[in-house]
Amino acid sequence: MRKPIIAGNWKMNKTAKQAVELIEELKPLIAKSKPEVVVCVPYTDLWAVKDAIAGSKIKLGAENVAWADNGAFTGEISAEMLKEIGVEYVIIGHSERRQYFGETDQSVNMRLVQALKNDLKPIVCVGETLQEREKNKTKKVLKKQILEGFKGIEDFTNIVIAYEPVWAIGTGKTATAEDANKTIGYIRSLVRKTWGAEVAKSLRIQYGGSMKPTNAKELMAMRNIDGGLIGGAALKATDFAGIVNYKG
């Protein structure tokens, strides 16, 4: 059985003070929830959020990790730095990093290797743009992102994949549950073909893209969907809790 995982991606939102306020509001709302709950927050919020979630079931995540151990990499944050704070999860290869900051499948792979080497649990994002979808290139794009992004990786125990169609991120447009399930099914079959049945069976694959309390139940009911990566709705405690508590 794959345990569902709901992760918030706060992006560039919330000062440390605002972050603590959000966590304090969220804690009682999700205290009895069944899924694994993660909040991936800006680097500047990590220490404050780490203290605020203490004793709760919320786990701490960052939004990226450097591919080098240390050194002359201005603006980057190393795995060792994140580990010292108590970070457990890291998002890698989010489409906004790919779109605005030149992230490639190769740099995704390097960050992934570094995260695993340091016992950080990666949430690796993949997904097609609207243009690619309209040209029927979804499978081709996902195949490249996965085969190149996960090149050389053998142990998937700590890895989560987030399938996020770029056209659904922050747009209010959600893939239909059937469509998301089908595409995630394709990802799972590709993983099966490349890394074997056991890996494919246990690998958790989330859906991400305008997930909200009103569509979470339907998406989460799908056989292949093991959770959600949540952007906008993660910034409001009641919305995020509504998704975490999708079973009611």
Catalytic residue positions, numbered? 94, 164
Least separation, in Å, of the C-beta of 151 and ligand PEP?
Answer: 23
Contact 27, 4 (CB under 8 A): no
Among 78, 145, 210, 215, binds ligand PEP (CB under 6 A): 210
Q: Which of 107, 208, 119, 111 is nearest to 158 (CA)?
A: 119
Q: Is 169 in the site for ligand PEP (CB under 6 A)?
A: yes
- Output the CA–CA distances (angstroms, integers) from residue 224 to 15, 30, 190, in the order listed: 35, 24, 13
Least separation, in Å, of the C-beta of 187 and ligand PEP?
Answer: 16
Q: Is 123 in the site for ligand PEP (CB under 6 A)?
A: no
Q: What x/- string results for residues 219 through 248 when contact with ligand PEP is judged by CB under 6 A? A: ----------xxxxx---------------
Least separation, in Å, of the C-beta of 69 and ligand PEP?
Answer: 27
Interface residues for ligand PEP in 54-113 (CB under 6 A)? none
Among 45, 103, 164, 226, binds ligand PEP (CB under 6 A): 164
Residue 79 CA to residue 64 CA, distance in Å, equals 9
Q: Please, which residue, 73 or 101, has the CB nearer to ligand PEP?
A: 101
Q: Is 170 in the site for ligand PEP (CB under 6 A)?
A: yes
Least separation, in Å, of the C-beta of 8 and ligand PEP?
Answer: 9
Q: Please, which residue, 35 or 78, has the CB nearer to ligand PEP?
A: 35
Least separation, in Å, of the C-beta of 153 and ligand PEP?
Answer: 22
Q: Is 208 in the site for ligand PEP (CB under 6 A)?
A: yes
Q: Which residue ranges make up the site for ligand PEP (CB under 6 A)?
A: 9, 164, 169-170, 208-211, 229-233
